[in-house]
Structure 1
Amino acid sequence: MANAEECREALEQLSRNLARSTGDVRKAATLDRSLTCRITDLDLTFTGRLRDGRIQDVTEAPGEPAEKAEIRLTMSSDDLLAMVGGTLHFASAWAGGRVRLEAGFRDLLRLRTLL
């Protein structure tokens, strides 16, 4: 099980990856939406904003998210690290129930290029 600092670093790495993206991925990453990433095994939620192709203003708090974000991810700490590290593909993790993604229909259509 990864710890909170490793999860924060993984989210920072994801943000850097998004900032370097091009084409359709870059276009999808330029959404301006609130974002939460719930880490189930740590009972921790990271909250931030997907804006200008980066995840910004990341904070963490214990337990469930205080507010419903426009984009909501739920997974274990190890799955977050594996996805950002490239050893776990989001689509297979999502199809296998290891990761949950909740968002509005239009956002899901745009986000699919990130997946």
Structure 2
Amino acid sequence: MATKEECRSALDKLSDNLAQADGDVRSAASLDRSLSCRITDLDITFVGRLKEGRIEVLDTLEGPPREKAQIRLALTGDDLVAMVGGELNFAKAWASGRVKLEAGFRDLLQLRKLL
């Protein structure tokens, strides 16, 4: 099972990857939205913002998020680490229910470019 530190490191790496992207991925990542990433097996939530093509983690909470973020992601720590490491395909994990992504309709249309 991935640790809290490994999950935070994976989010930092994902942020770096988004910042270095170009084209459609870059435009999708350029949203300015509140963000939560719930790590279900560790019962923690990273909260922050997707801003200027980066993920900015502002806090780590025990349990579920206290406020509803505009973009909400829920998955296990192992799945987060595997996705960022290229071992797990996000689209397949999302389609199978291993990863949950919730956002407004317009944001989902924009975020689909990340797939």
TM-score by length of 2: 0.98
Count residues in correspondence: 115
RMSD: 0.6
Please list every run of 5 or more consecutive structure 1 residues that lacks an aligned counterpart in the other structure.
none
SS in 2 for 1:65: coil
The residue number in structure 1 matching 2:112 is: 112
Partner of 1:19: 19
Q: Secondary structure at the match of 1:72?
A: strand
Secondary structure of 1:113's counterpart equals helix
Give the Cα separation in 2 of the matches to 1:81 and 1:113: 21
Which residue identity lines up with residue 110 of structure 1 in the other structure? Answer: Q
- The CA deviation at 1:59 is 1.5
Match of 1:81 in 2: 81
Q: 2:46 touches 2:57 (CA, 8 Å); kept in 1?
A: no
| 2:40/2:76 contact within 8 Å kept | yes
Greater displacement, 56-65 / 34-43: 56-65
Question: Could you tell me the percent identity over the aligned residues?
Answer: 67
Mapped partners of 2:47, 2:98: distance in 1: 20
Equivalents in 2 of 1:98, 1:57: separation in Å?
22
Following TM superposition, by how much is the alpha carbon of 1:47 offset from its aligned partner in structure 2, in angstroms?
0.3
- Hey, what does 2:58 align to over in structure 1? 58
Structure 1 residue 57: Cα displacement: 3.7
- Give the 3 Å change call, closer, same or farther, for CA 114–6 of structure 1 in structure 2: same
